[in-house]
Amino acid sequence: MSSKSQPHERKPHKRGAHPASADAPAARPPRVTAANSRPRVSTQPVKTNGANPARQAKAPGKAAPARSARRGGSVRKAPAPAPVTVRRPATGRKPVAPHQPVAARKPVGAPAAARKPAVARKPAARPVQSPRRKPRAGQSHPKRHLTLPRPIAAANAAVNGYLPLAATYLAMALVFVALVSYVRANPPAYDITLNGAEQRVFHGATIQSLLDDGLVSPTPGNLLAVDGSVIKQGGGDPFSATVDGKQTTDATTHLGVDAQVQLGDGADVTEDYDETNAEIPFDTSNQQATRDSYFLGAFHIYSKGANGVQTTRVGKVSGISVTLTTKNPISAGYGVYDADVADEKVIALTFDDGPWETTPELLDLLKENGAHATFFTVGRMVANYPDTVKREYDEGHQVCTHTWDHAAGSGQGVNLTYMTAEEQVEEVEKGFEAVDSAVGTEVTRIFRAPGGNYYGSAVSNLDGTVVAEVGWDVDTEDWRKPGADQIAKAIENAKPGQVILMHDGGGDRTQTIEALRKALPELRKQGYRFVTIDELMQTGNGLRSISG
């Protein structure tokens, strides 16, 4: 039988080997994984060119037998399967071919070199966050993208949604608070105290508005000539006013909430004038420094003498000429003087034996009343309260000495005249040094002798150490503690230019403080000012000699 008539005989062969190349190395079987263990089902139609895909899938590891030719029974190679057409999804993903048996994907008749072993598809790996590594020098940690849990993310979204609304409400609240604060600071109407009585006024009230409303009708002062005669009635100040303790003649002065206002008749005004000055030579005093002469005046000076000043004034309106002494001469030698303040309403408040633990309260009271005072301090007490002494000086008060330890020792705690000349000088100098150290500068060399014992040889012994010794015109005797009312009465009876003696140390001084709390406002109503000793000596015509 010819070769053509012999039936085709298939020989068994190893899986993956082609019968035409028995010597070819065996192909590695495909790796079975979870990704390819199940057949993939595709909804896309598969074109097979007439081949039955069911038959092709029967023997996945063997090639399908070739059909015999109708004529001659010759064997033909199996035709290569037609390419599979797969539609690409609109999402842009890589299309996935429908699952086919191995024989359909790799025909038996294909050369061994054309076949490739099946490669298992690796499952998609879940992103794993790399462990945090320590960055190298000059590097920073990589940014980590964290995803918030759903409840937190929802809350965060809600908060972000309410933030603009909350910001709006907050802005409205701030505007409201600012408006309330402004209205409180600038109320449309408020109360003031006018001449001791409460008065309702509107915002922006001034002294002029009080006059326009007829709340007060002051009488204007007169215009005076240089000799004091009246040139024109009502030509002086239209009113006199004190607002919160400060005198003013400005009608536009603003009156704030709870302002304390004293509004009264206007003061007389002297006409403008031309003046010329001439010196008044000093003379020599024959006054003796005795205990009795001490109380003739408040100022006791041992001086080399100083000239005075005589002034001639010619009025520009009236043409009247007058000559007067504008500064009194100081006689050479010892002399007793008082303050010639002319028509100035001034008083000197003085305090001895301090500082004390209650002195700060006294300073507060003086500040409230716009009063300046003079403190004659004890040196050893200054060392105990240096801050208080510094405050006295910083607030405009005058700080002097009352000796180092109130003439203790041979002075028996009260009398310098019992001490030797050296002890007297040392007692006073140490007192000044303590004050200078506390205030940080050298103060005026004015002192007050303990008990007013400044007479005899003590006067000449302290020449060059002190400029003046200051006594008093009014003794309140507060050291006896007679009661606040009694002390206040003594203060209120003072006259212009007088020196008032009180104490802020040496014991409990609450009575003195309470007395001042009553007396100072009353004196202010009368137009008095409270000045230091230095200021008093320069007020008006200065010091005026008193002969004994």
Residue 353: active-site member: no
List of residues 6+ apart from 500 with CB closer than 8 A: 347, 348, 349, 350, 472, 473, 474, 476, 490, 491, 494
Distance of CA 6 to the CA centre of its chain: 118
- 402 as an active site residue: the answer is no
Q: Please name the residues in contact with 427: beta carbons below 8 A apart, sequence gap of 6 or more.
A: 403, 404, 405, 407, 411, 416, 419
d(CA 546, CA 548): 7
For residue 215, the 8-state DSSP code is: S
Helices (H) and strands (E) in the chain, counts: 13, 22
Q: Note the Cα 498 to chain centre separation in Å.
A: 43
Q: How far apart are CA 277 and CA 436, in angstroms?
A: 37
Provide the token pair at 414. 């009260």
The answer to whether the CB of 303 falls within 8 A of the CB of 335 is yes
The residue from 352, 353, 473, 478 that is catalytic is 352
Dist. CA 330–CA 296, nearest whole Å: 16
> 344: how many CB neighbours lie within 10 A of its CB?
16
- Per-residue buried b or exposed e for 150-183, using 16+ beta carbons within 10 Å of the residue's own CB: eeeeeeeeeeeeeeeeeeeeeeeeeeeeeeeeee
- Sheet harboring 321-327: ordered strands across? 273-280, 308-315, 321-327
Core vs surface per residue 96-122: b (16+ CB within 10 A) or e: eeeebbbbbebbbebeeeebeebeeee
Type of residue found at 329:
P
Task: Please identify which of the residues 18, 397, 402, 503 carries the catalytic annotation.
Answer: 503
Tell me which residues are annotated as active site.
352, 503
